[in-house]
Structure 1
């Protein structure tokens, strides 16, 4: 009977959710970002064509590249490494652009093998007549060697007819010279660049979460310099889902959603019965949105980068510190108005719209030249979805390409960075005002809070709220105050002697007690078969009637507890099974972060 009920329930949910999925597929929109290719020679091929920028490697936004096209006699799919350091006999004075066929392996693998062979760029020839699509990187599980992260050259997909004309000319022995042009791939309408970063506060969603947090940490210094100088306008965004009305009252939706099912996030551990819940992620996402809004009102919008970086370090979900209390401590260290942020967040339990999150849901839908935001992380620059490696230098180059000519800021022309964040409120880090010792350290990525080493004295702590001197050198400097002996010792901090608690009558004062001094403490024992109780400093009979009565009660409690535990186990087993069934279905309409790469948008492809 139980199996029949579950089967009916699952069939009902599947049929209901299928309609939701179909509607989403029809309305979904993915925009292919393009670059230009100009054929310079031979003369009879001179023309201009579009290519689809690959979603990995480093496109040369704002720049051009002129090179000779080569098409390998063997291994034209590029699925295997090419032999030798210069397998294509390329001219040393001119970049080589490798043309490969689209079959048999992942796009990224082709480009990686091309890079290993020393080429400057890779073009992949489509094998069917169709509109251009974006070449996507494979799923994390398919990239076992991590080669996608190592790709440093640009790549693009070209249509079948164009590639056939290139191949024909090469087979006839003609030199084919082309210019890859990314100057118009990134719009540059004015003197300011507007860019968005779609992210997530959850750090337990695998490689994608690691990638976006690494980017935030490394790009923070650049972002804050650009923002403080008024060169850019940055806005963070967070994807949210919603719960279908039929399941709003289910425990699964309640654990993953806030505001009565309106705003949801997948369960971090992909289980409803343990760890953090999806609604924990939604609430923290909302808090981080409000941090930016409130900071922006006081012309300190760049503080968002500090908050997100510090929260990731101090409040990691992996270390079980992901909580409201930890977030509030980070807010305090950055001197952010907690009451204003709380007001911005609103009542997450109320059955009403949350204006901040409602705006986020509306913005997920593509507008103008930008398509829908469907995966995390996503970077949008001047309303164009960024294509390529999410790396500090690559993203900075793309942003700089978004400035009008001659209007780009100095940071786009120089690699020198100086954030000077420690000058303002000590960067929100720990500081000993008596000795002027600080845990704040400026780097080209922005400030970090790390306990320092001063005059050979090592300080340990979290760097935000505390740092404590350790080791034998901690009291060698007169200016280092606060030296004291450990518990159980007496002295001035420079020299410490053990306290004899037994001799001085500080311990074991009960009748029948014997005291033995130890290094830094003491040990109390009772005569005969008596048991010493430290809290009351007394000895009791191990075999007293009270003790036996306690054991009897303990045994009876164990019997009763076993019966209750058996019943709970049965209920838990049934509940866990139900949870797994519901999770399998809900993941279809509300995809988990680590599944998002498996369901690619309409105009993307990651393989052959």
Structure 2
């Protein structure tokens, strides 16, 4: 009984400690504890003269710091609502009426840092300084990870912000109370070091797409920044390296079901359960394996000087293999790799990048992404040994030199300095450009923005119908998107990468709906029917899958002309049957009948027809005569009543005289 109680207590303890079972590997490898470096920008007070000095400000981890530039503005401290936790009254009350923009000074406390900056931006401020409420070293203002308060505004913050020390904030407030014009310069020109002509930057991310706001933020950044990143890498201006944070399972929990489901290599490398519910959906080890695969894609591609391939793979994997659609697995990952290999093979075949590689001094590009090499790089996840790739990732999480430990996702590191601010395409590009040595800026940094047309190069690896010139490739600033199109009212459906199929009643009007069609001797047969909304079906007289149809030989297959005395001849799409002699073939009954009758039957038929005709004529004559006689008698009767005739009078006289003639005789 005591043993059972101990086991029950241990099980209860494990359940209670589930959220804390996995430990960041950085804590294991860094004996003195985690080291967080606060990234700073300089703040110079220009007016009043007695306050001239240079101070530090901790750059906020949201909004858009203007890396490589500076901002000159007048400081304003609000009379009401100095903590900035509520919206300020009026229509942009802090919008500057002078050439200098307004830099709003607010107090720390009562609400999130991000909310203060958002309310300041809505009120017309060009930047926000938050004065600390206690005397302490500067900290980094971060945005809330999981809060309904943050929904809708954190991503909309487009102004810079910084936290300043309490003593500096107090001195600014005192000068403003005296009605002095306080002018300061926020300077980010030296926030990113630029030691040489190449910028090295790394991105700490995660393949999990079910971890909420932060996962959405990092994937949106990857898709939007891909075009810039590939231009910089192909030109040799930058060296990019992706990284993935790894957890480990404490020795006491290695044999627990929780660690087995979240870890590989006997608890050495783990990731939290994506939906935080064990036994349901995907497990943490699924995330670790895909993180490892993405690392190996970069390693294998980098061997042939194609590090930029990582951006294509991660973007396509996120679109095609999401957890929400239950496609987050090895098979889908390999399908993506095969699609990209096919695309790169076409590019290599036509020499699109060969000239670039030669001009950059690189070796010619290989024509595919070898899946076997990627699998070899990943190693055996079930082995009780260290994984070289993931072990390296754990060591790199530890901060060195001017860079702090990497403990949150996503994290961008530029020239060994952690980037602050939201992952905005233009803001990050400016930060990277700030890392170049003067006069060594690449053209992309001088143009400010750039548009690339990836669809122009072999259709971006997307589906295409060459006959009708219809493509699933759509070019955006983020890069190409493979999405089945809608053309002339006909919607195409499919994954956009390997297939798109026309759908709807009008689909046959465009390239015959993608179905088989052939014309011979001005007769056309088609496998596309408007009565079907999708799919192809061979017409009668043909067999096949609708994409290819062949004529059925009804004569050879004994499908027609089975009647006695019939002869069969096959035709394209049909057949012809003939009967012996003078017989006539009836297709519906598959039978032969006499084409001409006997002479007797014809003579008998003639007699019958003649008799019928004679009877008809006689009837007509008899009918006409009787009608005429009847009409004459009726007319005579009527006329005798109203108009006496002479012959009637003569008849009466002669009758009276007759006795006289008789008597005289």
Work out whether the TM-score is over 0.5.
yes
Tell me what 1:135 maps to.
Answer: 141
Q: Does structure 1 residue 61 correspond to structure 2 residue 63? A: no
Judge which range, 73-82 or 63-72, deviates more: 73-82
Report the alpha carbon displacement of residue 239 of structure 1 after superposing the two structures with TM. 0.8
CA contact (8 A) 2:23 2:248 kept: no
**Match runs of 1:592-603 below 5 Å:** none
Q: Distance in 1 between matches of 2:445 and 2:218?
A: 22
Q: Does structure 1 residue 108 correspond to structure 2 residue 114? A: yes
CA spacing shift, 1:86–1:488, aligned 2, 3 Å: closer
Q: Distance in 2 between matches of 1:89 and 1:149?
A: 21
Q: Deviations over 1:11-67 (max 9, x none)?
A: 589899799799779511100000111111111111111111111111111111111
**Match 1:397 to one of 422, 430, 436:** 430
**Match runs of 1:367-516 below 5 Å:** 367-415=400-448, 417-432=450-465, 437-454=470-487, 457-477=490-510, 482-483=515-516, 484-485=527-528, 490=539
Tell me what 2:193 maps to.
Answer: 187
**Match runs of 1:295-374 below 5 Å:** 295-335=301-341, 336-374=369-407
**Match 2:159 to one of 146, 153, 158:** 153
Q: Distance in 1 between matches of 2:23 and 2:478?
A: 43
Q: Which runs of 5+ in 2 are unaligned?
A: 342-368, 517-526, 529-534, 548-557, 560-665
CA spacing shift, 1:356–1:174, aligned 2, 3 Å: same
CA contact (8 A) 2:104 2:120 kept: yes
Q: Distance in 2 between matches of 1:12 and 1:284?
A: 27
Tell me what 1:82 maps to.
Answer: 88
CA spacing shift, 1:247–1:145, aligned 2, 3 Å: closer
Q: Distance in 2 between matches of 1:25 and 1:99?
A: 39
CA spacing shift, 1:235–1:103, aligned 2, 3 Å: same
**Match runs of 1:190-201 below 5 Å:** 190-201=196-207
Partner secondary structure for residue 73 of structure 2: strand
CA spacing shift, 1:447–1:20, aligned 2, 3 Å: closer
Q: Distance in 2 between matches of 1:173 and 1:291?
A: 61
Partner secondary structure for residue 325 of structure 2: coil
* Structure index of larger Rg: 2
Q: Deviations over 1:328-366 (max 9, x none)?
A: 000000102111111111111111111111110100111
Q: Which runs of 5+ in 1 are unaligned?
A: 495-504, 507-608
- Relative to the length of structure 1, the TM-score reads 0.76
CA contact (8 A) 2:452 2:477 kept: yes
Tell me what 2:276 maps to.
Answer: 270
**Aligned residue-pair number:** 498
Q: Distance in 1 between matches of 2:73 and 2:379?
A: 57
Q: Distance in 2 between matches of 1:299 and 1:438?
A: 30
CA spacing shift, 1:354–1:97, aligned 2, 3 Å: same
CA spacing shift, 1:421–1:18, aligned 2, 3 Å: closer
Report the alpha carbon displacement of residue 172 of structure 1 after superposing the two structures with TM. 1.1
Q: Distance in 1 between matches of 2:92 and 2:451?
A: 41
CA spacing shift, 1:373–1:52, aligned 2, 3 Å: same
CA contact (8 A) 1:418 1:442 kept: no
Partner secondary structure for residue 300 of structure 1: coil
Report the alpha carbon displacement of residue 186 of structure 1 after superposing the two structures with TM. 1.0
CA contact (8 A) 2:74 2:184 kept: yes
Tell me what 1:43 maps to.
Answer: 49
Q: Distance in 1 between matches of 2:511 and 2:408?
A: 57
CA spacing shift, 1:230–1:10, aligned 2, 3 Å: same
Report the alpha carbon displacement of residue 200 of structure 1 after superposing the two structures with TM. 0.7
Q: Distance in 2 between matches of 1:377 and 1:152?
A: 19
Q: Deviations over 1:563-595 (max 9, x none)?
A: xxxxxxxxxxxxxxxxxxxxxxxxxxxxxxxxx
- Relative to the length of structure 2, the TM-score reads 0.70
Q: Does structure 1 residue 249 correspond to structure 2 residue 249? A: no
